[in-house]
Amino acid sequence: MNCFSITCKGFIFLFFIVCEIHAQNLGNSIYGFQGSGDHMDFGTPEQEQAGNIHGAYRSSFSPNFHNPASLSYLSLTNYNVGVRGVYEEQRYKTGYVPSYNAYASNASLAFPVNKIGGACLGFRPFSTGGVEGTASDIPVGNQLANYRFLGNGGVSRFFGGLGIAPFATSRDSFWQSFSIGYYASYLFGQIRRSESLLFSGTDTSGYFHSAIVQSANYRGVLHQLGWQQSFRLNRRIHLDAGFSYQLPSFLSSLRESYSITNNANSQQLVTADTLNFRDAVSGSWSGGLGIGLGEKWKIWLDYGSRGKGSAQYALASQRYAVGLLLWPGPEGRGGIFSRSQYRLGATYTANEAIIGTSVVSSFSVRGGIGLSARKLRPPMFFLGFEYRRRGGSGLVNQTFYGVNIGISINEKWFIRRRID
């Protein structure tokens, strides 16, 4: 691989990192108006298309962002970038509010290390604080008021990880596939929010318009551990198992806020305050199984649980996922559609949050195709879709229609050689 090729890929990689840092401004979820924002948990585009499986997902061509043990399975250097386009509707009893967003979802570089390991560096969005909403004609005393809230910004995640298969060169088939790994993530970003209450009556002399503006700079570190192992059921069928655990942590934030109050006579009062906060990031774990025939087909089942964080409406949530992969021609035979990969997955998350007595849950269906540009090469271009619905009884229901596009480039910059 020549220097020009490395330079071009480096510029593309940096471009996507810059796009991701700005991605958090493009959300429009009402659930982003609390704590450190609306958390996002993207995988690689190919991982997303198979239901965003966490525990047992592994590939020799790309990383698993949710389980660092999978990195030991890498056989080639991989550049991986993803872009998402989303049409969203927030439905109320009297109508709905549409929005359109497009942003980068990941940028990573993964590569084998010696004969027994693999490493990964990358960027992903962690959360978005982007939100906009208005509640009109709220009765306050004998007056009507309009309540408006705005938010933007978010938290980014720079992460690095290492996976090791300490017995990869062993002749014992049971221990040969045993792998463990570790991810460390540095979180940083700023979220800005404002709330205002404006009275619309004809006589508001006894009522005060008000606005509260808050800006918070977040910093924090996350740690994640993982394990994976493969068991051969017969000569062709193998069973994969995996488990990952994210340790509980905190996001430290310096919050600067000020409030403005004035009445109809333009009498104004401004107060300011600066406080140090620690927002808890709850611990979480995921475990799963996968069964497959080499690279030709695989089926995954995944379950995960996340503890209750410090956000006002947070609950301990549970996540269920199923994924499917079909690759008719991994050996490179046939036309482009035989060499392509096909993925489908579904995810259900229960108890995301509670508002009043209503519980927020979500359901999503995803799928896609991976196209290979050349024979005997893994897919390079990924095109996928997503349908997701989130809400609860008596709440605003969000519906997402998304398209994700990914580029996965494999090079022999670093290559694993099991035999010298």
Q: Check: CATH 1.10.8 for 3-415?
A: no
Q: Coil, strand, or helix at residue 26?
A: helix
123, 190 contact by CB (below 8 A): no
What six digits make up the tokens of 301?
A: 């089942």
pLDDT tens, 221-236? 999 999 999 998 888 8
- C-alpha 144 chain-centroid distance: 40
pLDDT, mean over the chain: 79
| 109, 245, 410 from 413: Cα distances, Å | 11, 31, 9
> Which range, of 125-134, 357-366, 382-391, averages the lowest pLDDT?
125-134
Distance between CA atoms of residues 20 and 93, nearest Å: 34
Please state the domain extents for the chain.
Answer: 3-415
Q: Coil, strand, or helix at residue 9?
A: helix
Instruction: Give the list of residues 6+ apart from residue 351 with CB closer than 8 angstroms, or none.
Output: 315, 316, 317, 318, 359, 360, 361
| 205, 207, 212, 259 from 264: Cα distances, Å | 5, 8, 18, 17
pLDDT tens, 321-347? 999 999 887 666 667 777 888 999 999
- C-alpha 314 chain-centroid distance: 18
Determine the average pLDDT of the residues in 206-228: 82
What six digits make up the tokens of 144?
A: 């009507």
pLDDT tens, 263-314? 555 555 555 566 666 777 888 999 999 999 877 899 999 999 987 765 555 6
346, 362 contact by CB (below 8 A): no
**Nearest residue to 187 via CA among 252, 255, 232:** 252
- C-alpha 379 chain-centroid distance: 22
Contacts 24+ apart (CB under 8 A), 213-216: 213/257, 213/258, 213/259, 213/260, 214/255, 214/256, 214/257, 215/190, 215/191, 215/255, 215/256, 215/257, 216/190, 216/191, 216/192, 216/253, 216/254, 216/255, 216/256, 216/277
361, 392 contact by CB (below 8 A): yes
277/365: higher pLDDT: 365
pLDDT tens, 81-109? 888 888 877 776 666 677 777 778 888 99
Cross-strand pairs, 298: 292, 325
Residue 351: pLDDT over 60:
yes
- C-alpha 185 chain-centroid distance: 13
Q: Coil, strand, or helix at residue 233?
A: coil
Pairing of strands 317-326, 341-355: antiparallel
Distance between CA atoms of residues 277 and 269, nearest Å: 25
Q: What are phi and psi of 136, to 5 degrees?
A: -100, 155
13/55: higher pLDDT: 55
Residue 175: pLDDT over 80:
yes
Pairing of strands 209-232, 249-262: antiparallel
DSSP state of 283: -
User: Sign of the CA dihedral 375, 377, 380, 383?
Assistant: positive
144, 129 contact by CB (below 8 A): no
Q: How many CA atoms lie within 13 A of 95 on its CB side?
A: 3
What integer pLDDT is reported at residue 243 of this predicted model? 97
218, 250 contact by CB (below 8 A): no
Q: What is the DSSP string of 134-194?
A: EEEEEEETTEEEEEEEEEEEEEEEEEEEEEE-TTTT-S-HHHHT-EEEEEEEEEEEEEEEE
